[in-house]
Amino acid sequence: MKAVIENIQHFSLHDGPGTRTTVFFKGCPLRCLWCSNPTTQHFGAELLQKTDKCLRCGACAAVCPQQAVSMTPGSLPRIDRSRCINCGLCTASCPGKALIMAGQEYTLESVVANIAADMLFYRNSGGGVTLSGGEVLAQCDFAVALSEECHAFGIQTAVETSGYAPYENLRRLSEVTDILFMDIKHADNAVHKRLTGMDNTHILENLSRLLRERKAPVHLRLPLIPGCNDDDAHLAAYAALLAGMEGDFDLEVLPYHRLGKNKYEMLGREYALGDTPPPGEEHVAHAVAVLREGLGSIPVLCTA
């Protein structure tokens, strides 16, 4: 069994309790304007260009079979993404490691071996493994098998998902996952589609059903994005939507950050939110207060 993985990040202190290993699955059906992991959006391997490491030697242009790389002496190479087939030949020839590939195919056994090396850290910190993305549910069979293998080693697992997938996939993975994080990005269907490329009908139906069927709590998350979903009217509507659902859940507010902006440059893409600043502490605190008022006894957290 194989899956395309963007990265296996060791010693992560986020994405769940304790010290964790986070496995970033490649491929996602959503295109959130603020996505901090654009290298996980597409399912295949992708070429990244780190211009600050480029030696301007021209080796990449010389080996490219598609003539997708061009340059003039002393300049940075220019990559024609419409011609590039992500073969990786240029990365092997680059002496400065300015060109790298994001994403490669892993076997289940190789990921488990990679994870098992960190078992001592999990046990000492109460941590475990987090399956993230991209969208984990897009490679559901592998994710389920990986979670089961982790449990066989006594390793706790967590999953981060948008919930945009067939419900059967969400149910299967939920049943073999200790901690489930699910993003609900906007309450309004039309706005959700404008912000993410997909409407929220299927996501909310999946959430409603999951809350009724899952025996353990579901940890919902709201990425708080300035100018997109942080106004009082939306926050009140968002709280009302969740308050009407049955089941055991809490809500965590995740303030927007721009840590992934440079990845768009490396992919040759434009960052949709430009120079949008992160929300200030007072604004975040106000948003949390509005949500708490609307959600009553349902816990609303913000650790940022």
Boundaries of domain holding 261: 2-43+104-301
Q: What's the CATH code of the domain at 68?
A: 3.30.70.20
The verdict on 247 and 295 lying in the same domain is yes
How far, in Å, CA of 212 to CA of 145, rounded?
24
Report how many domains make up the chain.
Answer: 2
pLDDT tens for each residue of 94-129: 999 999 999 999 999 999 999 988 888 787 888 899
The verdict on 110 and 159 lying in the same domain is yes
pLDDT of residue 303: 77
The verdict on 76 and 151 lying in the same domain is no
Sequence-distant (6+) residues with CB within 8 A of 83 are 66, 67, 68
Query: What is the distance of C-alpha 42 from the center of its chain?
Result: 12
CA-closest candidate to residue 171, choices 131, 129, 143, 196: 143
Strand order in the sheet with 2-12: 104-107, 2-12, 20-25, 128-132, 156-161, 179-183, 218-224, 249-255, 300-301
Model confidence at 74, pLDDT cuts 50, 70, 90, reads: confident
The verdict on 162 and 238 lying in the same domain is yes
The verdict on 72 and 146 lying in the same domain is no
Q: How is residue 8 written in tokens? A: 């296996």
pLDDT of residue 194: 97
How far, in Å, CA of 254 to CA of 237, rounded?
18
The verdict on 61 and 175 lying in the same domain is no
Sequence-distant (6+) residues with CB within 8 A of 123 are none
Sequence-distant (6+) residues with CB within 8 A of 79 are 47, 49, 68, 69, 268
Task: Judge contact between 164 and 198, C-beta under 8 A.
Answer: yes
Q: How is residue 176 written in tokens? A: 């073999």
Q: What's the CATH code of the domain at 35?
A: 3.20.20.70
The verdict on 175 and 74 lying in the same domain is no
Last residue of a domain, one of 87, 102, 117: 102
Model confidence at 11, pLDDT cuts 50, 70, 90, reads: confident
- Res 14 pLDDT > 90: no
pLDDT of residue 12: 82
Last residue of a domain, one of 81, 102, 123: 102
Task: Judge contact between 182 and 219, C-beta under 8 A.
Answer: yes
**Interval 258-266 mean pLDDT:** 93
The verdict on 175 and 271 lying in the same domain is yes
Model confidence at 133, pLDDT cuts 50, 70, 90, reads: very high
Last residue of a domain, one of 84, 102, 120: 102
pLDDT of residue 121: 79
The verdict on 117 and 69 lying in the same domain is no
Give the SS3 label for residue 75: coil
Across the chain, mean pLDDT equals 94
Model confidence at 16, pLDDT cuts 50, 70, 90, reads: confident
The verdict on 214 and 117 lying in the same domain is yes
The verdict on 199 and 268 lying in the same domain is yes
- Res 260 pLDDT > 80: yes
The verdict on 153 and 38 lying in the same domain is yes
pLDDT tens for each residue of 146-182: 999 999 999 999 999 999 999 999 999 999 999 999 9
> How buried is residue 65: exposed, middle or buried, by Cβ count under 10 Å (0-12/13-18/19+)?
exposed
pLDDT of residue 34: 96
- pTM of the entire structure? 0.91
